[in-house]
Amino acid sequence: MPKRESDTTRVKKIASPKTSREMLLARYAHVADSITTLFFPFAEVVIHDLSDQTVAYLSNNLSKREIGDDSALEDVEETTRNKLLGPYEKVNWDGRRMRCVSTALFDDEGRAAGVMCINFNIAAFQDVQATLDLFLRGVGVIAQPDELFKDDWQERINTFLHGWLRERQIALNSLTREHRRELVEALYAEGAFKGKSSANYVAKVLGMGRATVYKHLREMKTEAE
């Protein structure tokens, strides 16, 4: 990012160049290394020294910069005022996209001494996403043949069940006893128990005993008479 001439003149109270770099490295170099170690090999952390606007430290160098290079920082005043800038995106030297966050670093007197930029390579995940999208989309996938699956009562139960859960914003593994009873009743009203072994299937899916499902079905049949 190109440096604007006004950046260096607008930033107030920048730490002394005699002590800022030593302080920055002593306090924050290990923090930078911790971040890149955790997210290796996808993250780069750069510490910029605001006393002379140069790169003071590089951890897991992905941008091919060097210590002492011009920082070329933008929005230094905003970063030091808000303490955090981002996330924003930029393009790396190889054309791959990186998502970045910049955070201000201060000395003991509260003066802006540096900026730490965390640059995360999201292109690697975009490649994985593109591969997954291609796989999930498939090649020449056709609609389910009506004749072949017209008696697929298991799929009809699955479709109804998960539609019921979505409407109520309930997870399958968090169903209460009352929820399970309501589901059995709703499935019965939909005719889900006409299929052979359908009661056993519902019992397995809902984590109920078969005897409990049959009990609910008997009660509903009795009430309907």
pLDDT of residue 188: 86
pLDDT of residue 149: 37
96 vs 224, higher pLDDT: 96
Indicate the burial class of 114 (C-beta count within 10 angstroms; 0-12, 13-18, 19 or more): buried
pLDDT of residue 19: 74
Q: What confidence tier does 41 reach under pLDDT thresholds 50, 70, 90?
A: very high
The strand ranges marked E within the chain are 43-49, 54-59, 84-91, 97-106, 112-121
pLDDT of residue 219: 86
Contact partners, residue 47, CB within 8 Å, separation at least 6: 24, 25, 28, 29, 32, 55, 56, 57, 58, 105, 114, 115, 116, 117
pLDDT of residue 194: 78
Task: Tell me the pLDDT tens digit for each residue of 102-112.
Answer: 999 988 888 88
81 vs 140, higher pLDDT: 81
Domains detected in the chain: 5-124 (3.30.450.20), 147-224 (no CATH)
Question: What number is the average pLDDT over the span 69-74?
Answer: 78
